[in-house]
Amino acid sequence: MSVLTKSVARRAARWSAVPAAAALAVVVAAGPALAAGTSVGIYTYGSVHAGRISVTGAYQCPAGSRYADLTVTATQAGPHGRAVTSSVVERLGCTGRVLPWGATLSPRRRGGWFTAGNTRVVAQVWPAGDRRGQAEASLVLNAAAS
Residues 90, 134 within the same domain:
yes
Categorize the per-residue pLDDT at 25 as very low, low, confident or very high, splitting at 50, 70 and 90: very low
Query: Coil, strand or helix: which one is 61?
Result: coil
Same domain, 10 and 79: no
The per-residue pLDDT of the chain, averaged, comes to 77
- pLDDT recorded at residue 80: 64
One domain for residues 54 and 16: no
pLDDT of res. 88: 83
Position 136 confidence tier, pLDDT thresholds 50, 70, 90: very high
**DSSP string spanning 78-135?**
-GGGPEEEEEEEEEE---SS-EEEEEEE--SSTT----SEEEEEEEEEEETT-GGG-E
Report which of 114, 54, 108 is spatially closest to residue 78, judged by C-alpha positions: 114
CA 43 – CA 41 distance, rounded (Å): 7
Q: Are residues 26 and 85 in the same domain?
A: no
pLDDT at 16 over 60: no
85 and 126 part of one domain: yes
Number of domains in the chain: 2
On whether both 118 and 48 belong to a single domain, the answer is yes
- Residues 88, 135, single domain; the answer is yes
- Same domain for 50 and 20: no
Q: Are residues 54 and 20 in the same domain?
A: no
Range of the domain at 136: 35-145
Instruction: Bin 50: left if φ > 0, else alpha if -120 < ψ < 50, else beta.
Output: left
Measure CA of the first residue to CA of the last residue in the chain; give whole Å. 73
Q: Has residue 34 got a pLDDT over 60?
A: no
Question: Torsion angle, CA of 105/107/110/113, rounded to 10 degrees?
Answer: -110
